[in-house]
Copies of this chain bind each other. A is one copy, B any other.
Amino acid sequence: MVARDPEDRRMLGALLRIPFQAIVARIQEGLAAAGYTDLRPAHFVVFQHMRPEGVRLTELAEAAQITKQSMGYLVDYLEREGYTERMPDPTDGRARVIRLTERGKDVERTAREILRNIEAEWSDHLGEERMAQLRETLRDLAAMLER
């Protein structure tokens, strides 16, 4: 059992950053252990906002809250490394849709499994009830903040 400091004065920002960065680090380590050593945290948002039918670059950029140019840089890299592919968008001649290749889908599955393991560990530590509360509260906050 870990001794928790009851006088922990850290600000909310730090308290949110710690578990978030822990997740990012664990996923990167887990993917590297599975052989995906060329994926960096910046690429994760691409997988996170992907859909089976594919997504446009502009939509990905908006979802990740970065510029189209920055997202283009990330997607170009993922495409060179074989994780994504681009197809013309039949409904709009200016656009192309970005999709995961099989290799990309495998990354997605692996990442989800790592995340399930993390969630199981946290649930062990916190108890299922507090874990469910945490998830629910974060969902509520996210819904509020996205307005």
Residues on A facing B (Cβ under 8 Å): 2-5, 8, 10-24, 27, 44, 48, 65, 112, 115, 118-119, 122, 125-126, 130, 133-135, 137-147
Copies of chain A in the complex: 2
Interface pair B19/A142, CB less than 8 Å apart: yes
A15 in complex: contacting residue of B21, B142, B147, CB < 8 Å: B142
Provide the main secondary structure of the chain A interface.
helix
Residues of B within 8 A of A19 (CB): 16, 138, 141-142, 145
Residues from chain B with Cβ under 8 Å of A44 in the complex: 13
Query: With A125-B140, A126-B140 in contact, is A13–B115 under 8 Å at CB?
Result: yes
What's the Cα separation between A3 and B130 when bound, in Å?
23
- Does B134 contact A137, Cβ atoms closer than 8 Å? yes
The answer to whether B2 and A48 have CB atoms under 8 Å apart is no
Contact A126 B122 (CB under 8 A): no
Contact of A138 among B15, B118, B125 (CB under 8 A): B15
Is the Cβ of B141 less than 8 Å from the Cβ of A122? yes
19 more A-B contacts (CB under 8 A) besides A12-B138, A19-B141, A20-B20? A2-B144, A4-B140, A10-B139, A11-B112, A12-B115, A13-B20, A13-B27, A13-B115, A15-B138, A16-B138, A19-B138, A125-B140, A126-B137, A130-B133, A130-B137, A133-B133, A134-B134, A134-B137, A134-B138
